[in-house]
Structure 1
Amino acid sequence: MSRTAHVNRTTGETSVDVHLDLDPDTVTVDVSTGVGFYDHMLHQLGKHGGFGLSVRTEGDLHIDAHHTLEDTAIALGSAFAEALGDKRGVVRFADATVPLDEALSRAVVDLSGRPYCVHDEPLEMADTIGGDYPTSMTRHVLESFAHHARICLHVSVLRASNPGQKPDAHHIVESQFKALARALRAATRREGDEIPSTKGVI
Structure 2
Amino acid sequence: MRRSRIDRKTSETDIRLALTIEGTGRSEIDTGCGFMDHMLELFARHGRFDLFIQCDGDTGVDYHHSVEDIGIALGQAFVDALDDKKGIVRYADMVLPMDEALMLCAVDISGRGCLGFHVEMPTEKVGNMDTELVKEFFLAFTRNADVTLHFRELAGENTHHIIEAMFKAFGRVMSGACAIDEKFSEEIPSTKGVL
TM-score normalized by the length of structure 1? 0.93
Give the letter for the 1:115 counterpart: G
Distance in 2 between residues matched to 1:49 and 1:193, nearest whole Å: 23
Contact kept in structure 2, 1:96 and 1:180, CA below 8 Å? no
Distance in 2 between residues matched to 1:63 and 1:198, nearest whole Å: 47
Give the equivalent residue in structure 2 for 1:50: 48
Give the letter for the 2:5 counterpart: H
Give the equivalent residue in structure 1 for 2:28: 30
Deviation at residue 8 of structure 1 after TM alignment: 0.5
Give the equivalent residue in structure 1 for 2:173: 183
Give the equivalent residue in structure 2 for 1:101: 99
Distance in 1 between residues matched to 2:58 and 2:158, nearest whole Å: 28
Find the residue that maps to 1:89 and give its secondary structure.
coil
Residue 9 of structure 2 is aligned to residue 19 of structure 1:
no
Residue 117 of structure 2 is aligned to residue 127 of structure 1:
no
Q: How many pairs does the alignment contain? A: 192
Give the letter for the 2:64 counterpart: H
Distance in 2 between residues matched to 1:9 and 1:90, nearest whole Å: 27
| RMSD value, Cα | 0.9
Give the equivalent residue in structure 2 for 1:41: 39
Deviation at residue 181 of structure 1 after TM alignment: 0.8
Deviation at residue 27 of structure 1 after TM alignment: 3.0
CA deviation string 1:43-69 (max 9, x = no partner): 011100010100100100110010010
Deviation at residue 140 of structure 1 after TM alignment: 1.1
Distance in 1 between residues matched to 2:113 and 2:124, nearest whole Å: 28
TM-score normalized by the length of structure 2? 0.96
Residue 146 of structure 2 is aligned to residue 156 of structure 1:
no
Distance in 2 between residues matched to 1:193 and 1:157, nearest whole Å: 36
Find the residue that maps to 1:108 and give its secondary structure.
strand
Distance in 2 between residues matched to 1:88 and 1:20, nearest whole Å: 18
Distance in 2 between residues matched to 1:78 and 1:99, nearest whole Å: 29
Deviation at residue 83 of structure 1 after TM alignment: 0.5
Contact kept in structure 1, 2:25 and 2:47, CA below 8 Å? no
Deviation at residue 193 of structure 1 after TM alignment: 2.0
Unaligned runs of 5+ in 1: 161-166
Give the letter for the 1:136 counterpart: E
